[in-house]
Amino acid sequence: MSRLQKLLWGIVVLSTLASAMLPMSVAKNEGAAGIYFSLAGSLLILCNLLACFYIWEAKKSKVFWRCFAATVGSLLAAVFLFMDLGDLAVGHQIGSGFFAALLSAWILAWLAVEFLTDCEPAVGLQKMLWSLAIPLFFGLWLLLLWELSVRALQVPAVLLPAPSDIAIRFASSLDILWVDFVQTFVKSVLSGYVMGCGAGFVVAVLIDRSPFLQRGLLPLGNLASALPIVGVAPIMVMWFGFDWQSKAAVVVVMTFFPMLVNTVEGLAASSNMQRDLMHSYGASYWQSLFKLRLPAAMPLIFNALKINSTLALIGAIVAEFFGTPIVGMGFRISTEVGRMNLDMVWAEITVAAIAGSLFYWIVSQFERWVAHWHPSIRRS
């Protein structure tokens, strides 16, 4: 094991021993006489110690078994922690031992991620599945940590709802979430993204073709890219109305300049020797552009496309705060915050996160197909 893994292993052992000496829960208004040691807590301590013992004994063997012990141990610990939370319903409050056990389970999950990374396959389908399993396991444990912490500390739902409450609201509001998704993402984001990126690309080619535009328009573009969205959005609402067209206009403004700057920079990425070679072949400007300079500019162009895939969604949601019909992600978030329905707000945030992540992934996969020859793509 590495030094970090040994440190994490030590923290798991110490926090588990601490949870064994501290009460898991205490009966309300009974003080020390009401200390309660649950069966679930005892099973959790036993599970963690067995996992730590096996990890230490298997340090010279295959890393897969260390990974298996840490993963299964952390998941069983989470199950026992949820069982222990049932004491809250019978007049007990969570004790300090519970939080020590929660710390040990979380660090054990962290250690499992370390081992999962160590035994990742080198190539093939297994590598792809493994690369998906690591963030999924880590994300699952973040949700478990969130759920357990909120339940144990009895955080009010108006401050931070539990993931289970958000999931229930999400499942019961699919029709509303779908209408908001269509209004914000399909109408505003996609249309504004296509227009903004397309316009930025065309203007970049014109700037590359004309030295006058390169010296005059590009500095103005850099200046305009610094305009705050909270200042642009109300103006666009006044110009284009309260429907999705004004939100698409905000997206156009936000995506135009990153595309412009990256494309201009990418068109200058080819070396002088390469351009001289094309000139010696008698290639015209457009032949040189399509056969040399655009392929060389693809990494920077796709860099702009990936940046804009997230900027577009942020811009559309923020723009809806300044005027919109009674539909849309931004409208729903601002309205439900006023009603203290934080579970609905988090459900909308979940939809936005899923949509933005999938959009970014689609652009990344398209980049791998178009620019597969680039060294950065071949390495990955």
Residue 302: inside a domain: yes
* DSSP 8-state code for residue 91: T
Statement to judge: residues 97 and 203 lie in one domain: no
Residue 376 has pLDDT above 70, yes or no: no
Residue where a domain stops, chosen among 154, 179, 205: 154
* Same domain, residue pair 268 and 145: no
Give how far Cα 142 sits from Cα of 32, 115, 239, 250, Å: 33, 18, 43, 34
Q: In terms of domains, do 242 and 98 share one?
A: no
86 and 225, same structural domain?
no
161 falls within a domain: no
3 state DSSP class of 372: coil
> Does 94 lie in the same domain as 198?
no
Confidence of residue 58 (pLDDT cuts 50, 70, 90): low
What are the pLDDT digits (tens) for 69-103? Answer: 777 777 777 777 777 776 555 556 777 777 887 88
Q: Which amino acid is present at 234?
A: P
Whether 66 shows a pLDDT value over 80: the answer reads no
For 314-363, the pLDDT digits (tens) are: 888 888 888 777 888 888 888 888 888 888 899 999 999 999 999 998 99
Domain end residue (candidates: 91, 119, 154): 154
| Distance between start and end Cα atoms, the chain | 26
**Parent domain of 310:** 171-379
Note whether 256 and 199 are within 8 A (CB). Answer: yes
The residues, any chain, with a CB within 8 Å of residue 33's CB and separated by 6 or more, are 27
Mean pLDDT to the nearest integer, 258-268? 84
Task: Give the CATH number of the domain where residue 306 resides.
Answer: 1.10.3720.10
CB 267 within 8 A of CB 208: yes
According to the model, what pLDDT value does residue 31 have?
45
Q: What is the mean pLDDT of residues 103-122?
A: 74
Is residue 159 a part of any domain in this protein? no
Domain co-membership, 181 together with 140: no
131 & 183 share domain: no
Q: Could you tell me if residue 160 is inside a domain? A: no
pTM: 0.77
Do 138 and 197 lie in a common domain? Answer: no
What's the domain count of the chain? 2
Q: Rounded to an integer, what distance in angstroms lies between the CA atom of residue 247 and that of residue 249?
A: 5
Q: Are residues 33 and 93 in the same domain?
A: yes
Q: What is the pLDDT of residues 12-50, one digit of tens each?
A: 777 777 777 766 666 555 444 344 445 555 666 666 666
**Within this chain, do residues 233 and 306 fall inside the same structural domain, yes or no?**
yes
Domain membership flag for residue 76: yes
